[in-house]
């Protein structure tokens, strides 16, 4: 479903003599099969967001090849948009001044979702995510947790085969976080949606991901099961300890 083959992405920063090249992602290769739920971890600045931007066609790679749902994201960005859902926890894709339901209606138009499918899916997501009481509230008046549920709904209205999540539980309280995790677990297990999850919350990883990839300085530093990850530092009691060891090389 997702395939990266020796992908690199660099940026030129600074001016004149201070000019230098930042290699955000270097020679990165991995495959995510349909139906997998994969955690994508890495310290700040490791290259996670750059990878996600390349997967969704926002950024073009400077080298290598990417395929998502059989499409090259940069060349087929519009076609890919119909097969992929993306949620950036730190930003909203909803319309700030519009009631939630109007934002969803706009998403329906943009993605050309059939009216009957749209109604069915929206009813299901509204029920699963407990959105009914906020439907008429402008997005700017929603709490972070409510807004996040709205963003997830918007990303799923066109029933994408792949969902890419960048820190979807950031800032959520323990109850909202548990509800969000349960929803994502259901989405993957029952609907078979492929999920790639980026987070700094290791609870998300432990509760949801069978497989974990760790990126560090743009390189893939680890790719294996959660048990394989624990086995990299068997004397560490917590996942924080295991991951800290991995991040510090």
Ligand X SMILES: Nc1ncnc2c1ncn2[C@@H]1O[C@H](COP(=O)(O)OP(=O)(O)OP(=O)(O)O)[C@@H](O)[C@H]1O
Q: Answer yes or no whether residue 48 interacts with ligand X by CB under 6 A.
A: yes
- What are the DSSP calls for 165-189, one per residue? EESTTTT--HHHHHHHHHHHHHHHH
Q: Answer yes or no whether residue 22 interacts with ligand X by CB under 6 A.
A: yes
Return the residues of window 49-108 that contact ligand X according to CB under 6 A.
49-50
Q: Answer yes or no whether residue 42 interacts with ligand X by CB under 6 A.
A: yes
Q: State whether residue 126 is helix, strand or coil.
A: helix
- Region class of 119: left (phi > 0), else alpha (psi between -120 and 50), else beta: alpha
Q: Is 180 exposed, middle or buried (0-12, 13-18, 19+ CB in 10 A)?
A: buried
Stretch of 43-51, 131-139, 226-234, 240-248 contacting ligand X, by CB under 6 A? 43-51
- Number of Cβ atoms within 10 Å of the Cβ of 175: 9
Q: Which is nearer to ligand X, 42 or 150 (CB)?
A: 42
Q: State whether residue 68 is helix, strand or coil.
A: strand
Least distance in angstroms from the C-beta of 128 to ligand X: 28
Let me know: does 122 contact 159? Beta carbons within 8 Å: no
* Options 17, 18, 20, 44; binder of ligand X; rule CB under 6 A: 44
Stretch of 41-49, 98-106, 109-117, 118-126 contacting ligand X, by CB under 6 A? 41-49
Q: Answer yes or no whether residue 14 interacts with ligand X by CB under 6 A.
A: no
Least distance in angstroms from the C-beta of 48 to ligand X: 3
Question: Rounded distance, CA 10 to CA 62, Å?
Answer: 7
Least distance in angstroms from the C-beta of 11 to ligand X: 3
**Binding-site ranges for ligand X (CB under 6 A):** 11, 13, 22, 24, 42, 44-50
């Amino acid at each position: 479903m997702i395939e990266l083959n020796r992908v690199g992405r660099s940026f030129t920063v600074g001016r004149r003599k201070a000019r230098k090249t930042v290699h955000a992602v270097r020679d990165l290769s991995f495959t995510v099969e349909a139906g997998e739920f994969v955690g994508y971890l890495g310290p700040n600045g490791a290259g996670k967001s750059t990878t996600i931007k390349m997967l969704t066609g926002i950024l073009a790679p400077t080298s290598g090849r990417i395929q998502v749902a059989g499409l090259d994201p940069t060349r087929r960005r519009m076609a890919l948009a119909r097969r992929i859902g993306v949620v950036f926890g730190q930003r909203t894709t909803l319309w700030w001044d519009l009631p939630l339901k109007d934002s969803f209606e706009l998403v329906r138009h943009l993605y050309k979702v059939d009216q009957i499918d749209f109604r069915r899916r929206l009813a299901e997501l509204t029920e699963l995510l407990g959105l009914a009481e906020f439907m008429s509230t402008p997005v700017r008046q929603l709490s972070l947790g409510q807004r996040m549920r709205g963003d997830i709904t918007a990303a799923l209205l066109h029933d994408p085969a792949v969902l890419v999540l960048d820190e979807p539980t950031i800032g959520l309280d323990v109850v909202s976080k548990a509800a969000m995790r349960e929803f994502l677990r259901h989405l993957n297990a029952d609907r078979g949606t492929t999920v790639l999850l980026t987070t700094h919350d290791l609870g998300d990883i432990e509760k949801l991901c069978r497989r974990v990839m760790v990126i560090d300085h743009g390189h893939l530093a680890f790719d294996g099961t959660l048990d394989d990850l624990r086995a990299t530092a068997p004397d560490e009691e917590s996942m924080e300890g295991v991951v800290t060891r991995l991040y510090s090389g």
